[in-house]
Structure 1
Amino acid sequence: MRLRKALFATTLMAAAPAAASASTITGPYVNIGGGYNLVQTQHGRFAPTTFADGTDNAGGTKSKFRHKDGFTGFGAFGWGFGNGLRAEVEGVYNYSQINHRSYTGVNGHTGGHDESYGGLVNVLYDIDLKQFGLDVPVTPFVGVGAGYLWQRYSPVTTNYVNGAYNRVGGTNGGFAYQGIVGAAYDIPGVPGLAITTEYRMIGQTFTDGAYQSTSGRANGQLAKGNVNFDHRFNHQFILGLRYAFDTAPPPPPPQPVTAVPSVAPARTYLVFFDWDKSNLTPRARQIVAEAAQASTHVQTTRIEVNGYTDNSAAHPGARGQKYNQGLSIRRANSVKAELVRDGVPATAIDIHGYGEAHPLVPTGPNTREPQNRRVEIILH
């Protein structure tokens, strides 16, 4: 009954919700824990006899020792390999009360306790449930271990109703092994720290003890002998705390991406002029009006008006180049004035005159080219 209750309690602990799933361990970690220890009934064979039945035969007598309440505690140091696999070395201590003994032949009362202690090497595996499509806040784990435990009876005494007694004591060691099933829960805000719940079954090979007895002896004469116990099975239900040293803090949440507004390309309008003229033709006025209207429909920060001429000139030589430079500025001013008449603020307009520089169509010297006699309206 006590075993069924303890198993039920462990099931409830493993099913309890947690804040976040335990992360895969990479590197060193430490683990401590403790809990309830339930030891199965043990059989002991006495040699030459317990003398509890009032005889002095050499055939030996078997008795059952029933354990009551107990506790366990352990500390471990381990290493996680980053793929769910872990290995650790642990030290463990187990304690259990003994309150009943049967097959004594003479009624009596039994009391005492035993304890076991030693070390084991464990190999464990953390199960990532996300690989099965389960997004749950828990990381189950399973493991096995092997090592060496000493068992000490301290002492276990049976007092018979006839005034005799039988006392078992001594310390002996033997091979031990265990199976582990558990789950880990991350503690929010503390990277690497996790609460663990476990069920462990520890098996220990038979151990020997010494006994002394006055039962069946005249005048309370003392009899001594040995007792051989069968396997000792511990069922343990543990709550622990584990800390992984190399666990990095979770990455910060991704920052929202701020969309950078796209910059519209500059819009360019071309206004052409007759040779050696700076006045606007009717077609030129239409183009300027289109540019003025467009400047009110798009986000315009600056309007650039650039005047040009071809490389022909009404005057030869350097004087002609100087003349064309002035002509390009007059053409730019004509366009600016028309833009202002169409509602564009004069302060938003920058004018430049480039004369014969930057021809739209490359030509030979002193060539009249209509496309080079132009003003460019650029909306930035």
Structure 2
Amino acid sequence: MKFRNALVAATILALPIAAKAQPIGGWYIAGGAGANLMLNENVKINSVSGAGGSGHFKSTVGPAFDLSVGYGLGNGLRAEIEGLYTYNSFNGVSGGATGGGQEQKFGGFANVLYDFVGLSPYVQPYVGAGVGYLWAKEASLHIDTPAFASSAANDTEGSFAYQGIIGAAIPISGAPGLALTVDYRFVGMTGDRNYSATLNGGAARYKLDNNYNNIFMVGFRYAFGAPAPAPVAPAPAAVPASPVSRSYLVFFDWDKADLTTRARQIVAEAAANSTKVQYTRLEVNGYTDTSGTPQYNQGLSIRRAQSVAAELVKDGVPKSAISIQGFGETHLLVPTGPGVREPQNRRVEIIIK
């Protein structure tokens, strides 16, 4: 299928400009355009005289558009409200009859999606499902056979709808928060819809039931407040090692900034040893693993450094001699991908200089 091949090509072409994939934490907007391959739609014609018939309309490929607003929890889960519009023409009827018309669908969905964090550094697959309500507006519906001629008035009927979604997001390098999205969705409408019609000049109605759609979309998504990529640090200039520099590592439980018993022992050891050397300052640097959003991790690394600094002061180190920094999920002790809970990366380093 040409359109499906185009989606694959768009994904491949976007990879050279892709940035590191990160879970969304906060508000975002998204929109896309694509094609709707609507399956044949069943129709039954009934008149007050008892005449009628049945068959199905054959549809052509038509355009589809969507727009959504959502919120990400920072752990891969997202919830959003989406508006959807599709248009298809009918170019024939089964059973040798002639006929045609047009159908427009429009409405909204409440969707829940999950981004698979850590599967790939540059492409983030996602799946989702949604429920909502769609209106189907029929125009110029008509079916003609040797036995009868019928037509339906322009009319709009609605019903509950559902959808399943599978796709991938490719963050764009140089534009924090912006990502190219490619997805497929299956959309269905429930129940029957009845439209007023005429049959051989008399009153009748068209009853349309199944309405199934295969929609392929390409679009963009923008997450508000996404952090800028960390600049590549230049290679540090070589400096002679200080003979009195000494460092201590204090580790933390996941998503915690309070000190364990073992952590307090290490801080006490660092405080005691600082009195045995002539130091100019104590650097207290906090770090996290890659689970959680970069913004949250930055704050957590600072809180961990503050906990260690407070314990150093309690153990006799002058507060004025301590400098505190938080580095978030940068400078990993154990290199990992995004979204990984690595105990050795959840640490504070005390450096005595």
* TM-score between the two structures when normalised by the length of structure 1: 0.58
Measured against aligned partners, the alpha-carbon deviations of 1:110-132 in whole angstroms (never above 9, x if no partner) come to 222101111101111111244xx
Residue in structure 2 matched with residue 247 of structure 1 by the alignment = 226
Q: 2:62 aligns with which of 35, 55, 70?
A: 70
Contact 1:173/1:207 (<8 A) preserved: no
Q: CA–CA distance in 2 between the matches of 1:195 and 1:103?
A: 43
Measured against aligned partners, the alpha-carbon deviations of 1:61-87 in whole angstroms (never above 9, x if no partner) come to 211111112111111000011001111
Q: CA–CA distance in 2 between the matches of 1:33 and 1:17?
A: 16
Q: CA–CA distance in 2 between the matches of 1:176 and 1:262?
A: 68
**Structure 1 residues 1-380: aligned runs within 5 Å:** 4-14=1-11, 18=15, 19-48=18-47, 57=50, 60-103=52-95, 107-108=97-98, 110-130=99-119, 134-135=120-121, 137-160=122-145, 164-167=149-152, 169-215=154-200, 222-262=201-241
Residue in structure 2 matched with residue 314 of structure 1 by the alignment = none
Q: CA–CA distance in 1 between the matches of 2:65 and 2:14?
A: 25
Contact 1:186/1:193 (<8 A) preserved: yes
Contact 2:42/2:54 (<8 A) preserved: yes
Measured against aligned partners, the alpha-carbon deviations of 1:311-366 in whole angstroms (never above 9, x if no partner) come to xxxxxxxxxxxxxxxxxxxxxxxxxxxxxxxxxxxxxxxxxxxxxxxxxxxxxxxx
Q: CA–CA distance in 1 between the matches of 2:129 and 2:152?
A: 35
Larger mean CA deviation between 251-260 and 111-120 belongs to 251-260
3-state SS of 2:186 partner: strand
- CA deviation after TM superposition for structure 1 residue 21, in Å: 3.8
Contact 1:96/1:114 (<8 A) preserved: yes
3-state SS of 2:183 partner: strand
- CA deviation after TM superposition for structure 1 residue 102, in Å: 2.0
Q: CA–CA distance in 1 between the matches of 2:20 and 2:242?
A: 46
Q: CA–CA distance in 2 between the matches of 1:263 and 1:165?
A: 94
The number of equivalent residue pairs is: 242
Aligned CA distance change for structure 1 residues 202 and 21 (closer, same or farther; 3 Å): farther
Q: CA–CA distance in 2 between the matches of 1:84 and 1:199?
A: 19
- CA deviation after TM superposition for structure 1 residue 5, in Å: 4.7
Contact 1:213/1:223 (<8 A) preserved: yes
3-state SS of 1:20 partner: coil
Q: CA–CA distance in 1 between the matches of 2:126 and 2:228?
A: 22
Aligned CA distance change for structure 1 residues 195 and 182 (closer, same or farther; 3 Å): same
Residue in structure 1 matched with residue 250 of structure 2 by the alignment = none
Contact 2:47/2:202 (<8 A) preserved: no
- CA deviation after TM superposition for structure 1 residue 199, in Å: 0.6
Contact 2:152/2:205 (<8 A) preserved: no
Q: CA RMSD in A?
A: 2.6
- CA deviation after TM superposition for structure 1 residue 171, in Å: 1.0
- CA deviation after TM superposition for structure 1 residue 161, in Å: 6.3
- CA deviation after TM superposition for structure 1 residue 168, in Å: 5.5
Q: CA–CA distance in 1 between the matches of 2:229 and 2:162?
A: 37
Contact 2:7/2:218 (<8 A) preserved: no
Unaligned runs of 5+ in 2: 245-353
- CA deviation after TM superposition for structure 1 residue 8, in Å: 4.6
The runs of 4+ residues in structure 1 deviating greater than 6 Å are none
3-state SS of 2:60 partner: strand
The one-letter amino acid of 1:170's match is D
Aligned CA distance change for structure 1 residues 200 and 263 (closer, same or farther; 3 Å): closer
Q: CA–CA distance in 2 between the matches of 1:177 and 1:225?
A: 30
Larger mean CA deviation between 150-159 and 35-44 belongs to 150-159
Contact 1:72/1:92 (<8 A) preserved: yes
Q: CA–CA distance in 2 between the matches of 1:48 and 1:162?
A: 14
Unaligned runs of 5+ in 1: 50-55, 216-221, 266-380
Aligned CA distance change for structure 1 residues 91 and 28 (closer, same or farther; 3 Å): same
Q: CA–CA distance in 2 between the matches of 1:206 and 1:175?
A: 8
**Percent identity of equivalent pairs:** 35
* TM-score between the two structures when normalised by the length of structure 2: 0.62
Aligned CA distance change for structure 1 residues 194 and 213 (closer, same or farther; 3 Å): same
- CA deviation after TM superposition for structure 1 residue 210, in Å: 2.1
Larger mean CA deviation between 158-167 and 181-190 belongs to 158-167
Q: CA–CA distance in 2 between the matches of 1:173 and 1:226?
A: 16
Contact 1:196/1:242 (<8 A) preserved: yes
